[in-house]
Structure 1
């Protein structure tokens, strides 16, 4: 029998919003679903990987949406930003307001499905991390397709990491990334190790996009249940890879040799399309002898509830605790 025919037939059913989460989190889920019960994000489709013009139009629209979203945060952030160029990479260096630890550094890699999320969103993300951790944050505004496919983004991350290593001891550096940024954070650690560079004190990977082949269970189980990321990103992956093997460890670091990596914080949610990415990575890190914390939040979709919910605040507190403990160590 064809393996695609072997599975659980669900038929038509409605997956309710649970009462097991905060009222704010439930409202955040409800806002992302239409009256017909279909996630609003499911209305958008990605262009074919070779349709450059369509990707450029989509990027422009996404950048405008990101800019509008982060504008509301700008007034609440206290850190200042200086933007520099390191080779082909743009880096936003955020400095906290008031007293801070100048010897410490947090490297922030933005999300955006490997295609979106740079510029304003990257800059504000760096400010958020500087405010959270009370330390310098280097937000890497890495190059992205269709203009610059793989390995441009990873090259930019390595160039920026070398720059940070010249100014901070590796034990004072933490690298964090959300979604696509989680992919690049882990791939950067693998490549840094392979090139003989010292590794940072820790990694913080939030719903990381570490399997571009989309082989995990949750890519089917949570399809359309994740209201933020309701379906496949394969078009993005093919665009990003530009013909390279999606299973290559620098593209899908879940499949790499994970021995010797620093302590890692992993976060996902029970409704996250990337739930399998995260739990599989946790087990792979543990099998490789590494230290890894796995935090799974009830009913949380990809990227969190993103509404200032109690769950989002709890996640921020857990990240801050983990990072501070690694720096103390």
Structure 2
């Protein structure tokens, strides 16, 4: 009888805690645009160790299918160790030479695959008549810095070296990515600038730019966590090979660490005001402009991290957000 009472009491406590958490979560969700509310917001996944990472890697990705009019092909850039593969997307009747977009998928540098970008990459190829190349880069913690960036840089060099073969204009190559992919794209633009490899434009979608965000005592208060501070700490630690710290003099570890942004290619930065990366993205956009780099900044009210992937074509604000991304690329990829 005593054990039954204890178990009953524990059950009641668990129920009360769960109810409290749901109530607290509902209050926080009041800041979310009504059209962007989704059940996933009640169940944030925190990446904290190998077990939760394995679970995260097995979660089904948001449905992302290739447009029927687009031909997608997996290509081995090099079979040497380490091997690197990319996926190309193009319309069969693409006019040549065209512009090209090197796309880098998100996932905190620890998760994600090129498959999650199929819909977006094939849309760019279809509507802009561009060649799109998505990089299947190595993930951390198995492959820490600089593996992912090295893979992206190798893909960019390969694209330039094969410009004639693929019928693209090497002066119209843009780099872009979402979340961690956006952070890698920003670092790639910096490395390409320093090595004289031309990049026309950088499309940075709620980019993961600054490992020092982990060191902030308190994230900005309006954050809605689909990508949580704990996940951010785990991911940066996995990528860097050690916990983030104020000082890290290795080049291109985090795009926001670069002191001099002068001479970088024009940029588009889009982020929601409920995103964990909102402060670092706002700061990077400001610094780009102060350095004389043209930067279009789109801040979406009531948007949390990755909401466009959940609601593209379903919520007017996210359709407009994606359309703005496409318009930014159109202005640079379709004009010689």
TM band (smaller chain): 0.7 to 0.9
Query: For 1:276-291, what aligned pairs fall within 5 Å after superposition?
Result: 276-291=279-294
* Aligned residues of 2:274 and 2:305 also touching (Cα < 8 A): yes
Work out the CA distance in 1 between the residues paired with 2:302 and 2:237.
29
Shift of 1:131: 3.0
Is the 8 Å Cα contact of residues 285 and 297 (structure 2) preserved in structure 1?
yes
Does residue 84 (structure 1) correspond to residue 84 (structure 2)? The answer is: no
Distance 1:313 1:115 in 2: 27
Query: Partner residue of 2:302?
Result: 299
- Secondary structure (helix, strand or coil) at the match of 1:220 reads coil
Rounded to whole Å, the distance in 1 between the matches of 2:327 and 2:121 is: 18
Alignment TM-score, normalising by the size of structure 1 = 0.80
Q: Tell me by how many angstroms 1:138 deviates.
A: 0.3
Question: Alignment partner of 1:276: what SS?
Answer: helix
Q: C-alpha distance in 1, partners of 2:66/2:118?
A: 14
Determine whether 1:254 maps to 2:262: no
Flag structure 1 segments of 5+ consecutive residues without an equivalent.
Answer: 1-11, 34-38
Alpha-carbon distance in 1 for matches of 2:319, 2:237:
35
Deviation of 1:80 after TM superposition, in Å, equals 1.5
Aligned partner of 2:65 among 55, 68, 74: 74
1:313 and 2:319 correspond: yes
Contact 2:276/2:305 (8 A) holds in 1: yes
Matches within 5 A, 1:108-257: 108-166=103-161, 167=163, 168-198=168-198, 200-214=199-213, 220-222=219-221, 225-232=223-230, 233-243=232-242, 247=248, 248-256=250-258, 257=260
| Consecutive unaligned residues in structure 2, runs of 5 or more | 1-23
How far residue 17 of structure 1 moved from its aligned partner, in angstroms, is 2.9
Task: Map Cα deviations across residues 131-170 of structure 1 (whole Å, 9 max, x no partner).
Answer: 3433110001111123222111111111100111121444
Displacement of 1:91 after TM fit?
A: 0.4
- Looking at structure 2, the residues matched to 312 and 218 of structure 1 have their Cα atoms a distance apart, in angstroms, of 31
Q: CA deviation at 1:103?
A: 2.4
* Cα separation, partners in 2 of 1:75 and 1:249, compared to 1, 3 Å: closer
Cα deviation code 1:234-277 (max 9, x no counterpart):
11111111138664451211121211011100101111111012
Q: CA RMSD in A?
A: 2.7
When residues 240 and 58 of structure 1 are mapped into structure 2, their CA distance, relative to the original with a 3 A threshold, is farther
2: CA distance, partners of 1:136 / 1:57: 33
Question: Any idea what SS the aligned residue of 1:114 has?
Answer: coil
Per-residue displacement from partner, 1:259-297 (whole Å, max 9, x unpaired)?
Answer: 101110010111111101210010110121111011001
2:58 match: 61
Count of residue pairs the alignment pairs up? 294
Which structure has more helix as a fraction of its residues? 2
CA distance in 2, matches of 1:97, 1:179: 30
Detail structure 1 runs of 4+ shifted over 4 Å in the superposition. 97-102, 122-125, 215-219, 244-249
- 1:324 is aligned to 330
2:96 is the alignment partner of 1:105: no
SS in 1 for 2:171: helix
State the structure with more CA Rg. 2
Superimposed CA distance per residue, residues 49-83 of structure 1 (whole angstroms, 9 cap, x where no aligned partner): xx4xx366235413xx12xx33xx42655312111
Alignment partner for residue 272 of structure 1, among 272, 275, 278? 275
Check whether the contact 2:236–2:244 (CA below 8 A) recurs between aligned residues. Answer: no
Q: Does 1:28 align with 2:31?
A: no
Shift of 1:178: 0.5
SS across alignment from 1:296: strand
